[in-house]
């Protein structure tokens, strides 16, 4: 496998007419080591963020042994990729057949839920051929919490309300060998206080239920760095979470879990796109709303961008641009703004950074587009929370590059 120094060399060598995905294994490995050594508990990779088997192997090799899977397809894929990994089925609404296959064929014991109906479904689906009920279920009740401090809300679809949580915790405790409480503060939480507020809600739920809790799962939401979104150091999140976890009324040996997706995968990928046309401050490029740039179109996410040099001097004047993707759909539009040299034109290439989270996962073949070659590069991501460049406490925030 050929490894390139950086995106500019890739563009020069391949002169690609189709998008090119750039993999940075060293960046994913560094993020995995950061969480596995610094988070004061167990880190589960949220596979939905980027289901690449190559990425999953890198994370496993660097300390991430547990995986948050959300479908039977993810269960099968991760189990085939990592035979010894621990899989946790954290989607709160599952089919009985998916639960049965996960439990009996893939060794899954941990399941999330947010209703008594789901408890009953899990119990029934894990009864063996002799009619014996499973005695090793590890069940996690998902509590609804606020997403007000996050860029993308995850507060409306899943989670039981605090007022009803006590009864569900009591019922689940009766059938679970091991009981946890989990929540999700939303994607890209920009302050550690998001977790403080959620853990206070957990405290109230446990106090009302009066049951023994074996695990607290603070979910995902750990941020990455994007234009206009510069979060505090991740150590600040870890410290505050641990402090409030220690004060909860839980078992003395209770475990602390988290489910990073974006924070483990965002720096793994970037994308080279080609400018096919310029119309004023609009650039027509060959990826967009139905490809890896889904978030740029549908939630107005601003990714870092740079024009790749082609051996000619570029203008030092920068201009704000919006993008159109390659399909015939007007919705294939990314408002940005994306800051690029004012003299950019058709035939130029652009690197779009920080696409490891949800970029590759959201690609479709709509209108016949969506093909992309993947290559490996050695340079640093366009932004990082793990290199120490943005944190004055360098010694506390750096994990080795290799």
User: pLDDT tens digit string along 207-226?
Assistant: 999 999 999 999 999 999 99
Q: Clarify whether residues 187 and 246 are in a common domain.
A: yes
CATH number for 332: 2.40.37.10
Q: Clarify whether residues 252 and 289 are in a common domain.
A: no
Which pTM value belongs to this model? 0.92
Tokens of 248: 């909860």
The confidence score (pLDDT) of residue 395 equals 31
Is residue 33 situated within a structural domain?
yes
Q: What mean pLDDT is reported for the chain?
A: 92
CATH number for 129: 3.20.20.10
Q: Tell me the CA end-to-end span of the chain in Å, nearest whole number.
A: 19
User: pLDDT tens digit string along 284-300?
Assistant: 999 999 999 999 998 88
User: pLDDT tens digit string along 91-126?
Assistant: 999 999 999 999 999 999 999 999 999 999 999 999
Is residue 391 situated within a structural domain?
no
Q: Clarify whether residues 193 and 52 are in a common domain.
A: yes
Q: Clarify whether residues 228 and 102 are in a common domain.
A: yes
User: pLDDT tens digit string along 168-187?
Assistant: 999 999 999 999 999 999 89
- Give the residue from 227, 243, 265 where a domain finishes: 265
The confidence score (pLDDT) of residue 299 equals 87
Cα 42-46-214 angle, rounded to 5 deg: 35
Is residue 261 situated within a structural domain?
yes
Q: Clarify whether residues 237 and 321 are in a common domain.
A: no
399 pLDDT band, cuts 50/70/90, is: very low
Is residue 392 situated within a structural domain?
no
Q: Clarify whether residues 222 and 278 are in a common domain.
A: no
Domain count, the chain: 2
User: 314 burial class (0-12, 13-18, 19+ CB within 10 angstroms)?
Assistant: middle
User: pLDDT tens digit string along 122-169?
Assistant: 999 999 999 999 999 999 999 999 888 787 777 778 899 999 999 999
| Block residue for tokens 């399941």 | 111
The confidence score (pLDDT) of residue 366 equals 81
Buried b (16+ CB within 10 A) or exposed e, 288-313: bbbbbbbbbbeeebbbbbbbbeeeee
Q: Clarify whether residues 329 and 341 are in a common domain.
A: yes
The confidence score (pLDDT) of residue 364 equals 83
Q: What is the extent of the structural domain holding 328?
A: 3-22+268-377
Residue 111: is the preceding peptide bond cis (ω within 30°)? no
Tokens of 63: 């300390």
352 pLDDT band, cuts 50/70/90, is: very high
Q: Pairing state of beta strands 42-46 and 269-279?
A: unpaired
pLDDT (average), residues 385-396: 55
Q: Clarify whether residues 87 and 234 are in a common domain.
A: yes
Q: Clarify whether residues 226 and 286 are in a common domain.
A: no
Give the DSSP per-residue string, 326-390: SSS-TT-EEEEEEEEETT--TT-EEEE---TTTTGGG---GGG----EEEEE-S--SS-SSSSSS
- Give the residue from 219, 249, 265 where a domain finishes: 265
The confidence score (pLDDT) of residue 388 equals 66
Q: Clarify whether residues 36 and 181 are in a common domain.
A: yes
| Block residue for tokens 């939630």 | 299
User: 228 burial class (0-12, 13-18, 19+ CB within 10 angstroms)?
Assistant: exposed
Tokens of 352: 């779009």
Is residue 388 situated within a structural domain?
no
Is residue 396 situated within a structural domain?
no
The confidence score (pLDDT) of residue 371 equals 82
User: pLDDT tens digit string along 45-81?
Assistant: 999 999 999 999 999 999 999 999 999 999 999 999 9
Cα 207-209-214 angle, rounded to 5 deg: 85
Rg of the chain on CA atoms, in Å: 22
Q: Clarify whether residues 147 and 103 are in a common domain.
A: yes
User: pLDDT tens digit string along 232-259?
Assistant: 999 999 999 999 999 999 999 999 999 9
Dmax of the chain from CA atoms?
75
Cβ atoms 349, 307 nearer than 8 A: yes
Q: Clarify whether residues 298 and 244 are in a common domain.
A: no
Is residue 385 situated within a structural domain?
no
393 pLDDT band, cuts 50/70/90, is: very low
CA distances 121 to 111, 129, 142, Å, are 11, 16, 16
Q: 180: closest CA among 247, 250, 125, 126?
A: 250
Tokens of 238: 């870890």
User: pLDDT tens digit string along 332-346?
Assistant: 999 999 999 999 999
Check pLDDT > 90 for residue 381: yes
Is residue 187 situated within a structural domain?
yes
Q: How far apart are CA 322 and CA 285, in angstroms?
A: 10
Q: How far apart are CA 109 and CA 113, in angstroms?
A: 13
The confidence score (pLDDT) of residue 390 equals 47
For residue 256, the SS3 value is: strand
The confidence score (pLDDT) of residue 149 equals 76
Q: How far apart are CA 119 and CA 239, in angstroms?
A: 33
- Give the residue from 247, 265, 283 where a domain finishes: 265
């Amino acid at each position: 496998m050929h490894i390139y120094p950086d995106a500019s060399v890739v563009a020069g060598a391949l002169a690609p007419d189709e998008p090119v995905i750039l993999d940075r294994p060293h960046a994913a490995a560094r993020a995995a080591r950061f969480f596995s050594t610094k988070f004061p508990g167990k880190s589960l990779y949220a596979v939905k963020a980027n289901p690449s088997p190559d990425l999953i192997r890198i994370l496993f090799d660097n300390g991430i042994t547990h995986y948050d899977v959300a479908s039977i397809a993810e269960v099968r894929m991760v189990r085939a990729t990592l035979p010894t990994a621990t899989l946790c089925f954290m989607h709160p609404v599952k089919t009985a057949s998916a639960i049965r296959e996960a439990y009996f064929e893939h060794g899954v014991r941990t399941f999330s839920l947010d209703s008594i109906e789901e408890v009953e479904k899990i119990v029934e689906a894990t009864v063996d051929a002799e009619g014996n009920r499973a005695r090793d279920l590890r069940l996690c009740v998902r509590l609804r919490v606020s997403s007000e401090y996050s860029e993308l809300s995850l507060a409306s679809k899943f989670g039981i309300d605090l007022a009803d949580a006590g009864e569900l915790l009591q019922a689940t405790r009766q059938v679970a060998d091991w009981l946890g409480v989990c929540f999700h503060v939303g994607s890209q939480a920009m302050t550690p206080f998001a977790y403080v507020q959620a853990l206070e809600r957990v405290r109230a739920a446990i106090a009302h239920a009066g049951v023994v809790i074996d695990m607290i799962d603070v979910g995902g939401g750990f941020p990455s760095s994007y234009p206009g979104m510069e979060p505090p150091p991740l150590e600040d999140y870890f410290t505050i979470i641990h402090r409030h976890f220690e004060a909860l009324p839980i078992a003395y040996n209770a475990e602390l879990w988290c489910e990073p997706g974006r924070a483990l995968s965002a720096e793994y990928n970037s994308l080279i796109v080609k400018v096919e046309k310029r119309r004023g401050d609009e650039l027509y490029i060959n990826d967009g709303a139905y490809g890896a740039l889904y978030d740029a179109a549908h939630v107005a996410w601003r990714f870092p961008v740079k024009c790749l040099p082609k051996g000619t001097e570029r203008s030092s004047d920068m201009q704000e641009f919006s993008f159109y993707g390659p399909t015939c759909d007007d919705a294939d539009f990314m408002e940005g703004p994306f800051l690029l040299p004012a003299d950019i034109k058709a035939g130029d290439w652009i690197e779009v950074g920080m696409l490891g989270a949800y970029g590759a996962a959201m690609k479709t073949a709509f209108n016949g587009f969506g093909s992309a070659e993947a290559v490996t590069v050695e340079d640093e991501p366009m932004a990082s929370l793990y290199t120490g460049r943005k944190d004055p406490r360098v010694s506390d925030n750096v994990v080795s590059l290799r």
